[in-house]
C-alpha cells in the first residue's frame, strides 16, 4: 500500500513537471499582462505590438502551444490556445525559441516600418508574399500577406502611406485557408 502511494506521488510529480505551459497569474511579467483570455487573433497582434515574433507552434493536449520571441528583451514566451483563446502562458527558456534566439528578429520585416506602402508591397512581393486580405479604417489600413512557400503570414499596418507596424499573424483565417 505504501509503495503504491509513493509510486502515485512520483508519477503525478513527473507528469506535472512534463507539462510545458501552465496558466500564469496575471501580472507575472509585463510581457504576459492581459494576454490570458484574449482571442488568439487579438493576442497575436498584441504580441507583435510588444515586439514579439512568432517562432513556431505544435499540437498540445487539446490545444496548440506556440512560442514567441522578443529579441530586444531576450524573452521567450510559451502560450497555449484552446478554442482560439489564450488560456495558459509562461516565460519559457530561450532554447524554446532557439530558431530565433541569438539571431535578432530574422524575417520579421520590421525594417519596413517608416517605408512607403508601395515600397513595402514590392519588398513583400519579392519575398514571395501575396496580399490575402485588407481592412481599411479611418486612419489605418491593414493588409495581410501570405507566403505559400514558407507558410508565413504577416500583417502590415499603413497610415498616411507609411508603414506603421509589421507583425506576424500565423493563425489569421485568410492565411490558414491558402
> How many domains does the chain divide into?
2
Question: Last residue of a domain, which of 103, 122, 149?
Answer: 103
10 vs 14: CA distance, rounded Å = 6
Indicate whether 76 and 141 sit together in one domain.
no
Cα torsion 143, 148, 149, 151: sign = positive
H/E element holding 45? helix 40-49
Q: Is the pLDDT assigned to residue 177 strictly greater than 80?
A: no
Q: Please indicate, yes or no, whether residues 73 and 143 belong to a single structural domain of this protein.
A: no
Q: What is the pTM of this model?
A: 0.47
Same domain (yes/no): 119, 61: no
Q: Which domain holds residue 161?
A: 107-178
Cell numbers placing 138: 479611418
**What is the reported pLDDT for 29?**
72
Q: What is the pLDDT of residues 1-55, one digit of tens each?
A: 454 444 443 433 333 333 444 444 334 677 788 899 999 888 888 888 888 888 8
pLDDT of residue 25: 39
Alpha-helix runs per DSSP H in 86-132? 117-126
Residue 3 is assigned to a structural domain of this protein: no
Report whether 153 contacts 101 (CB < 8 A).
no
Looking at the structure, do residues 113 and 175 belong to the same domain, yes or no?
yes
* pLDDT tens-digit series, residues 64-121: 888 888 877 888 898 988 998 999 899 888 887 865 544 444 466 778 888 899 988 9
Amino acid at each position: 500500500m505504501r509503495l503504491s502511494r509513493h509510486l502515485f506521488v512520483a508519477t503525478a510529480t513527473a507528469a506535472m513537471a512534463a507539462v510545458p505551459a501552465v496558466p500564469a497569474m496575471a501580472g507575472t511579467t509585463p510581457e504576459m499582462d492581459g494576454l490570458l483570455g484574449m482571442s488568439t487573433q487579438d493576442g497575436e497582434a498584441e504580441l507583435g505590438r510588444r515586439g514579439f515574433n512568432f517562432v513556431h507552434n505544435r499540437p498540445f493536449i487539446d490545444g496548440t502551444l506556440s512560442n514567441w520571441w522578443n529579441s530586444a528583451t531576450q524573452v521567450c514566451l510559451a502560450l497555449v490556445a484552446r478554442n482560439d483563446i489564450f488560456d495558459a502562458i509562461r516565460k519559457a527558456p530561450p532554447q524554446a525559441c532557439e530558431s530565433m534566439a541569438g539571431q535578432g528578429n530574422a524575417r520579421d520585416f520590421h525594417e519596413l516600418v517608416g517605408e512607403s506602402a508601395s515600397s513595402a508591397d514590392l519588398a513583400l512581393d519579392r519575398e514571395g508574399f501575396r496580399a490575402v486580405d485588407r481592412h481599411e479604417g479611418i486612419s489605418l489600413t491593414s493588409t495581410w500577406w501570405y507566403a505559400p512557400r514558407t507558410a508565413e503570414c504577416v500583417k502590415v499596418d499603413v497610415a498616411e502611406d507609411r508603414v506603421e507596424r509589421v507583425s506576424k499573424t500565423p493563425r489569421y483565417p485568410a492565411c490558414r485557408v491558402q
